[in-house]
């Protein structure tokens, strides 16, 4: 009798396990991992609480090291949002004005933009400077000082009236980084540490340089149309500077998100300025793109920030009205991460 009861208990336990619903986020991530070679980390949080996190794929293919949740990724242009926060902190301190010009804060700057281009126009990619840094491979194939980069790529003639045209480029934020250094007398790396990373205990994040050895930093790869994997093209990450030279873990990005959206880094007025879109400039705000977006059956305000350099790709997607944030960090370019982001957003907003 006792053995029969034990058998029935085991049978019901197995049936309960078999009928346990599959986590919808897990199912989506597994699908992209198995069918589209997704390799990286995913984190979803709602009202500050992490509701899903997953590491999948290979962090280093040479040594076949599996991905871990505390892995560090190049976050590329998400660095620009950190730069925007540092600028807004100085605005709050009365040390800088969004209406101030480059020449006011960087007297040694020479070029037509000197007395015409404002801090806000740099933050919104509407400086009118040429985006030659996006077209010239020399920008990233040989090490250059920040001042040399600004002189070569950020001091030429204006190709548009400042504030009238959106033109994505790194040089606007490189100039901002140099201005931050000039005003504070501290390096961009030190400012990041003192103003953001240390206060938030972001222990797995930092400013990257080619000369640095960063334990836990994933290798990045490019995948061609036939599915062949190859090492990422070499480049000087130093030259990206305040526009794209940071690394972070996905949990640290969650810490940054919560601190930014809940008043721990800047005040509410500054946050509202950062989240104010400029429709005439492709909806860009300060450090984000902000828009009213239809996600499934729900229309919500979204702050969107992406980063991409070769095989390093990152997405930060914050659903403002619901206080939901989705992070995706990847070490290959197998597919457009927006596909995965949109599926996860639909799944989380429908629950």
Q: Is residue 66 part of a domain?
A: no
Q: Is residue 65 part of a domain?
A: no
CATH number at residue 144: 3.40.710.10
Give me the percent of the chain exceeding a pLDDT of 70. Answer: 94
**Residue indicated by tokens 């605005």:** 91
The pLDDT-based confidence of 227 (bands split at 50, 70, 90) is confident
pLDDT of 181-216, one tens digit each? 999 999 999 999 999 999 999 999 999 999 999 999
Range of the domain at 165: 24-57+71-349
43-74 confidence digits (pLDDT tens): 999 999 999 999 999 999 999 999 999 999 99
Whether 276 maps to a domain, the answer reads yes
Q: State the pLDDT at residue 61.
A: 96
**Domains of the chain: total:** 1
Residue 4 counted as domain residue: no
In a domain, 254, yes or no: yes
Q: Is residue 62 part of a domain?
A: no
Does the residue 320 lie in any domain?
A: yes
**Using one digit for the tens of pLDDT, what is the confidence trace for 81-92?**
999 999 999 999
Q: What is the pTM of this model?
A: 0.94
Residue 291 banded pLDDT, cuts 50, 70, 90? very high
Average pLDDT over residues 332-337: 96
Q: Is residue 64 part of a domain?
A: no
């Amino acid at each position: 009798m006792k053995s029969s009861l034990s058998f029935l208990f085991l049978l019901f336990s197995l049936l309960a396990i078999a009928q346990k619903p599959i986590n919808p986020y897990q199912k989506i991530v597994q699908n992209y991992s198995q069918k589209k070679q997704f390799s990286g980390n995913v984190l979803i949080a709602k009202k500050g609480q992490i509701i899903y996190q997953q590491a999948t794929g290979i962090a280093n293919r040479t040594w076949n090291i599996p991905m871990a949740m505390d892995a560090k990724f190049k976050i590329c242009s998400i660095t620009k949002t950190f730069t925007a926060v540092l600028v807004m902190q100085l605005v709050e301190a009365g040390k800088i004005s969004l209406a101030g010009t480059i020449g006011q804060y960087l007297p040694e700057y020479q070029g037509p933009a000197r007395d015409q281009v404002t801090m806000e126009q740099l933050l919104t990619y509407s400086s009118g400077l040429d985006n030659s840094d996006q077209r010239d491979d020399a920008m990233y194939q040989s090490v250059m000082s920040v001042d040399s980069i600004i002189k070569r790529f950020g001091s030429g003639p204006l190709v548009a009236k400042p504030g009238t045209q959106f033109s994505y480029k790194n040089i606007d934020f490189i100039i901002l980084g140099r201005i931050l250094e000039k005003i504070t007398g501290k390096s961009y790396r030190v400012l990041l540490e003192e103003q953001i990373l240390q206060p938030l205990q972001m222990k797995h994040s930092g400013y990257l340089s080619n000369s640095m050895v960063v334990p836990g930093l994933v290798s990045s790869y490019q995948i061609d149309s036939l599915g062949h994997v190859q090492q990422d093209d070499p480049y000087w990450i130093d030259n990206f500077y305040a526009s794209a030279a940071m690394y972070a873990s996905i949990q640290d990005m969650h810490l940054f998100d919560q601190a930014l959206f809940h008043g721990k880094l800047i005040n509410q007025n500054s946050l509202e300025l950062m989240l104010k879109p400029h429709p005439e400039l492709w909806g860009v705000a300060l450090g984000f793109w902000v828009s009213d977006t239809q996600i499934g059956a729900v229309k919500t305000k979204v702050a969107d920030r992406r980063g991409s350099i070769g095989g390093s790709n990152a997405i930060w997607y914050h659903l403002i009205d619901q206080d939901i944030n989705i992070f995706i960090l990847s070490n290959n370019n197998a597919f457009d991460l927006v596909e995965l982001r949109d599926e996860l957003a639909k799944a989380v907003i429908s629950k």
